[in-house]
Amino acid sequence: MATTEQTAAPRAANVARTRRWGSSQARADARLGLALVTPAVITIIAIACYPLLRSIWDSMHKISLRFANQPRPLIWLQNYKDILQDARWHNALWVTGRVVFVSVGVELVLGMIIALLLNRAFQGRGIVRASILVPWAITTVVSAQMWSWIYDARYGVSNDILKRLHLITKPIIFLAQPGITIWAMIGAEIWKTTPFMALLLLAGLQLIPADLYEAAAIDGTNGWQNFWKITLPLMKPTILVALLFRTIDAVRIFDLPRVLTNGGPGQSTETLVLYAYNTLFTNLNFGYGSALAVSTFLIVVLVSFLYIKVLGAPAQGSRS
Amino acid sequence: MTAPQLSQPLEGISGPVPGAKATVRTRRVRSSGLQQAIFYLLVALFVIFCLAPFIWTLDTSLKGESTIFTVPVRYIPNPIDFANYNKIFHLSRFTHSLINSLIVASAATAISLLIGSVCAYALARLQFPGKNFILALVLGIAMFPGIAIIGPLFRQFNAWHLTNNYWALILPNVTFTLPLCIWTLNAFFRELPLELEESARVDGCTRMQTFIKIVAPLAAPGVFTAAILLFIQAWNEFLFARTFMTQENKLTATVAIAQFTGADVSSQFPWGQITAASIIVTLPLVLLVLLFQRRIISGLTAGAVKG
């Protein structure tokens, strides 16, 4: 994902710099560089790459850990063929898809509005900055419990507020109605992640040089035109990075549905990762479960590829 | 959003650091009292949006059993009742879980910083073969779904009798905090002035001496920022913690909260205790946020916007 042309310029500068120290220095640098990255690379290979390959290998077997010494035949891609026919997987894909599109979409719009609002000097910035970080810092599991209590059908504060505002007469059963629960879950997700989106966008806004707006003011443009002609085009890289982060996070969603609804009612909030997890650790079906896990991994790879190659999101860490 | 708000960038491009006096003055001249009021109203709404669930949780945790379960809801905890906190701190399962989380998150943060900081330095300053491959690898891990490796890790840890051992959690946490560590510090090292390192080397320091004597002290603030971010990430981890720790006294705080049944088994939804436990687990994070908000924000956004 790191592209060579992006690092070419600083590399040339570095090469010129190292040349002054002579080629033996360059060789020593290369040796030291390799030595310094080795521990991190070994950790990543041992704890992520190797297990991923094992997962892929497992996914081509029929493995049940329910009983010891069961045969574990190699069935190649049969598990993946089954996934494509699996109605429960289609459901999980549809649940995850709605979470991704709705929550990331709402977060982008809300985050942008908040970022534009906060992009100025005003009294009380510190309080706002601290409160933005609260939803981000709160553990997802804790936030799931908080919302579970807020959504409580009988004693929950959400029903109480709606009743006091005369919007409802009977309490809404937020967490036990298939058509409603997923939206309750998405609401909790939006609360938790919008502030982070706003932070990233605000940081991007602050990089736009002020003289562009001054020049536009001389040309007599209005705020709306400025937004579409200056702010949005210049924000494109930041927006794409923020969207990439959040989309991938949302595809991997697990903690919130696990604690808030455990996929219920029925399977109406069972996401891809939750389905894979249940297959692995509830049914102990490690062959099919691995195939579900690997297919989630492939979806993440596909999404990253689309963002980076098709939309041109700058790949992290490979620039400057 | 209306036009006046959208035109705000015209006036206030000051960074998060307050003190851009000129821009503040222009705005005061232009915006009327009404616009000011609308602006602060919107900001207040946003702050309420961010804090309300947390405040409601705190509020509930300070109520007694009889005031929690009432219809209509009672908003003011009267009298304030610390019984819930009292109960959870007498629950060894919960106090153990806090210690376990502290051990796992601290160890993972320390190890990740140790191996991540030297890796970030090498990526920022040294030329060596395979650099782009390593950048891509680190990037890939950041996007990696933990579910894709949890099965084999579970079987491996079982085979090595590592389940219910801290290492079973520390190792995956190190792996998944490494990308954040390497990005944040890589961005930080790039911003350090090269001249200092070069003059140290003209004076005869080796690379390693330069790193220890010149770079490390300069990097301390960056490392500290990274440490906060990594600790929060490790403290909040749930997927691996839930899977690799099954003994009651080995659970981490996140798992304990998720499986909370309370001190009193007979009451089915011990919301008073759950909210109290939630507050306790969140408190260290909220304190970190309050104390180091600027560092956290610059660390979080450095990798994303400056790239």
Query: What DSSP assignment string belongs to A181-231?
Result: HHHHHHHHHHHHHHHHHHHHHHHHHTTS-HHHHHHHHHTT--HHHHIIIII
Using a CB-CB cut-off of 8 Å, the residues of chain B touching A226 are 6-7, 9-10
Using a CB-CB cut-off of 8 Å, the residues of chain A touching B152 are 50-51, 54-55, 58
Question: A44 vs B141: CB contact, 8 Å cut-off?
Answer: yes
> How many Å apart are CA B125 and CA A14, to the nearest integer?
8
Q: Are A175 and A184 in contact (CB under 8 A)?
A: yes
Question: B301 vs A199: CB contact, 8 Å cut-off?
Answer: yes
- Reported as type and span, the H/E element at residue B285 is helix B271-291
Question: B145 vs A273: CB contact, 8 Å cut-off?
Answer: yes
Question: A130 vs B275: CB contact, 8 Å cut-off?
Answer: no
Tokens 């998060």 belong to B16
CA dihedral (A258, A253, A89, A70) in degrees, to 10, reads -60
Q: CA torsion sign, A295 to A297 to A298 to A303?
A: positive
With a CB-CB cutoff of 8 Å, which residues 217-246 of chain A face chain B?
A: 217, 222-224, 226-227, 231, 237-238, 241-242, 245
- pLDDT (0 to 100) of residue B205: 83
- pLDDT (0 to 100) of residue A4: 44
Residue in A29, A39, A132 closest to B115 by CB? A39
DSSP state of B73: P
Tokens 């908040």 belong to A114
Mean pLDDT of all residues in B278-307: 81
Question: B275 vs A146: CB contact, 8 Å cut-off?
Answer: yes
Q: Which fold has domain B91-306?
A: MetI-like fold (1.10.3720)
B173 contacts chain A (CB < 8 A): no
User: What ipTM is given for this predicted complex?
Assistant: 0.86
- B25 or A276: which carries more pLDDT confidence? A276
A309 contacts chain B (CB < 8 A): no
B212 contacts chain A (CB < 8 A): no
**pLDDT tops 70 at residue B16:** no
- pLDDT (0 to 100) of residue B3: 33
What pTM was estimated for this model as a whole?
Answer: 0.86
**Mind listing the pLDDT tens digit for each residue in A23-32?**
777 888 888 8
Instruction: Name the phi and psi angles at A247, rounded to 5.
Output: -65, -45
At a CB cut-off of 8 Å and minimum separation 6, what does A22 contact? none
Tokens 């609260």 belong to A134
B278 contacts chain A (CB < 8 A): yes
Query: What's the gap in Å between the CA of B119 and the closest CA on chain A?
Result: 4
With a CB-CB cutoff of 8 Å, which residues 258-297 of chain A face chain B?
A: 258-259, 273, 276-277, 280-281, 286, 289-290, 293-294, 296-297
Confidence label for B303 from pLDDT (cuts 50, 70 and 90): low
Q: Which of A14, A31, A37, A304 is the mutation pick for testing B, counting most B CBs within 10 A?
A: A37
- B203 or B262: which carries more pLDDT confidence? B203
Alpha helices, H only, chain A: 4-20, 23-44, 50-58, 78-85, 87-98, 104-118, 125-137, 140-150, 157-164, 178-205, 210-218, 223-226, 232-251, 255-260, 272-281, 286-305
- pLDDT (0 to 100) of residue A1: 41
> How many Å apart are CA B307 and CA B304, to the nearest integer?
6
> How many Å apart are CA B127 and CA A141, to the nearest integer?
42
**pLDDT tops 80 at residue B13:** no
- pLDDT (0 to 100) of residue A20: 52
Give the residue among B299, B177, B229, B136 at the shortest CA–CA distance from A304: B136
Tokens 């879950």 belong to A185
Using a CB-CB cut-off of 8 Å, the residues of chain A touching B178 are 40, 43-44
Q: Are B297 and A129 in contact (CB under 8 A)?
A: yes
How far separated are the first and last CA of chain B, in Å rounded?
A: 30
AA letter at A102? V
> How many Å apart are CA A38 and CA A48, to the nearest integer?
15
Comparing A58-72, A285-299, B159-173, the range with the smallest average pLDDT is: A58-72
**pLDDT tops 90 at residue A190:** yes
> How many Å apart are CA A44 and CA B231, to the nearest integer?
19
Residue in A44, A160, A191 closest to B137 by CB? A44
Q: Are A139 and B281 in contact (CB under 8 A)?
A: yes
